[in-house]
Amino acid sequence: MTKMIKLKIDNLDVEVPEGTSILDAAKKVQVEIPTLCYHPDLEPTAACGLCIVKANGRMLRSCCTPVMEGMEVITRDPEIVNERKTVLKLILSRHPNECLTCLKNETCELRQKAAEFGFRQDNFKKISLSHEDAPLDCSTRSIVLDPRKCILCGRCVQVCQNVQNVWALSFLNRGLKTRIAVAGNLTLDESPCIKCGQCVAHCPTGALTEYDDTGIVWRSLMNKEKYCVAQIAPAVRVAIGEAFGKDPGEISTKKLYSALRRLGFDAVFDTNFGADVTIMEEGSEFVERFAHGKGSLPLITSCCPAWVDYMQKYYPDMIEHFSTCKSPHEIVGALTKTYYAEKKGLDPKDIMMVSIMPCTAKKYEIRRNESMYASGCQDVDVSLTTRELARMLKQAGIVFDELKDEEADSPLGEYSGAGTIFGFSGGVMEAALRTAYRLVEGKELDDVDITPLRGVDEGIKTMEMPLGGKTLKVAVAQGTGNVGKLLDEVRDALNRGEESPYQFIEVMACPGGCIGGGGQPTGVTNKVRKERTKGLIMDDKKSSIRKSHLNPDVQKLYEEYLDKPLSEKAHHLLHTTYNAVPVYKK
């Protein structure tokens, strides 16, 4: 049993388990000690010094000081406040005053702290630094690094190196010259960066942001010649409300449809429909390999473009195990510019396809290789993050939470519960198993809730189930930092000539899956991830159809257009290829 420690914080009695930090203990008595470098996802590093408190007569950083029996902590007195102000002034002395034009201005934690501490003028002369004129790194067209706005909190480095195991960002140089950069002064595009955007999600300032694509979308919406089509990803619907003051997990699907029409989109589709199609293709691909011995096992999901980039860089020898099926939004893009365009008599060149994604890597995916141009032109023209859409709605003066519910357009808008759970870790596998069961067993799976694969706490989740007279073993990994262990296990078994320990593997690059994606509203913690996951589970539960193969519009698509899963036409439009990519381009 964990030992409990008794202490006093601001004269209030607190009892917490041994090992708890003063910072966390204070929360028990409703005391929020100010922090900047601290993030609950990460190990505290005591980099900034803002969380300073007095304990037993000493000044200590509360984020990394564990409580001790009988400790008497003071979290606020004139001396402490003065120290904190000095810390902030020093940070501000090397931070540009560009809040007005900064993409993070609404959510910047540094700006919030400066406001809370009541700064009304610059107290220290701005220090000019050697990298002050460092240019923006927009090379990935997904993520933008502005080194001038970096406060060296180290969150991005920790998340990139330790959580995601990507190692694109690092602390280079020392002292005043310290900066966040790629080894060898390369650009992010030349680096191991997989565009997952977890650095963006964790950056407290505007040093790391999404690449803003709203300009071209605005111009297209104003252009009468363009037929603008939008689609929304599963995870967007349970997070965008946060930008309008709603709780995480609240489902805003129908308000989103309505909002997108108000913005001027001519048609509004749902990526969840694409997810259902993905299941038809990927599920069939799996069944071909598992039940009919056509192709190698395990089959690994490939909906996540950051994971695709990671795999191409670190596991190119596993390419044959990768599902060739495209991600859901690429499928909707390709079908919009072919199937839908033909139905409507539209020239695909006149269609502006905009995906609203929880993701920064989708911006890279839309131009990843020639298969993203299956319709004859770029299938998805622009991929916006949830945050970018929220900004557009605010600019347009759309009162989001008062909008009337509307429905998506036909025929790429109807979705099953299986499509919507694509947004959380384990959901793609769950959706695939619901359909694979039907394909292999010839009957419907009764209990569709495959709960062992859900949840954000475990990095790797595994499960066994009987299928087609065999035992199917599946594994789900969330966060690329957890992938290595799993794939090394598979690779070792295959190298020894043995069967893979798992036949089907799902990987999502971001912790929690897409609901915790790098393009989602900021401030994500495990608590938020859980709420958003719950929202999607609810969306699935209340769906009358919860299996992709029972989506009537999906059935119609195959009847009218694609013939059957894995048909030649399906292959041309809905499948892709992969190739090895060097970890460093130089």
Partner 1 sequence: MTDEAALEQTRKAIQKWKKKRGSLIMALHEIQGIYGYVPWDHAKVVAEEMGVALARIYEVLTFYNFFKLESPGKYIISVCDGTACHIKGGASVIDAFAKHLNINPGETTPDRLFHMQIVRCLGCCGLAPVVVVNGKTYGKVSPADVPSIIDEWKKKEAL
> What residue ranges bind partner 1 (CB under 8 A)?
161, 167-174, 182-184, 192, 583-584, 586
The letter for the amino acid at 438 is: R
Dist. CA 197–CA 147, nearest whole Å: 16
CB of 580 to partner 1, least distance (A): 16
Residue type present at position 359: C
Nearer to partner 1, 343 or 485 (CB): 485
259: which residues sit within 8 A by CB, 6+ positions away?
Answer: 393, 398, 400, 403
Neighbours of 444 (CB within 10 A): 13
What is the C-alpha separation between 26 and 73, in angstroms, rounded?
9
Q: Which residue's CB is nearer to partner 1, number 9 or number 180?
A: 180
Closest separation between CB of residue 177 and partner 1, Å? 9
| Beta carbon nearer to partner 1, 161 or 462 | 161
Q: Which residues are catalytic?
A: 282, 285, 303, 323, 362, 365, 370, 514
Cβ distance to partner 1 smaller for residue 3 or 174: 174
**Residue 167 CB, nearest approach to partner 1 (Å):** 4
- Is the separation of the CB atoms in 68 and 60 below 8 Å? no
Q: Please state the closest distance from residue 483 (CB atom) to partner 1, in A.
A: 16
The answer to whether the CB of 196 falls within 8 A of the CB of 361 is yes
Rounded to whole angstroms, what are the CA distances from 471 to 72, 227, 465? 57, 49, 6
Question: Which DSSP category does 337 fall into?
Answer: I
Q: How far is the CB of 511 from partner 1 (least distance, A)?
A: 20
Helix, strand, coil share of the chain (percent; to 5): 40, 15, 45
Kindly tell me which of 186 and 221 has the beta carbon lying closer to partner 1: 186
Residue 361 · residue 194 · CB < 8 Å: yes
Question: Which residue type, as a one-letter code, is found at position 338?
Answer: T
Query: Which residues on adjacent β-strands are paired with residue 477?
Result: 460, 507
- Centroid of chain to Cα 33: 28
Contact 536, 504 (CB under 8 A): no
Residue closer to partner 1 by CB (options 124, 171) is 171
From CA 142, how far away is CA 187, in angstroms rounded? 13
How far apart CA 84 and CA 89 sit, in angstroms, is: 9
Q: How far is the CB of 160 from partner 1 (least distance, A)?
A: 8
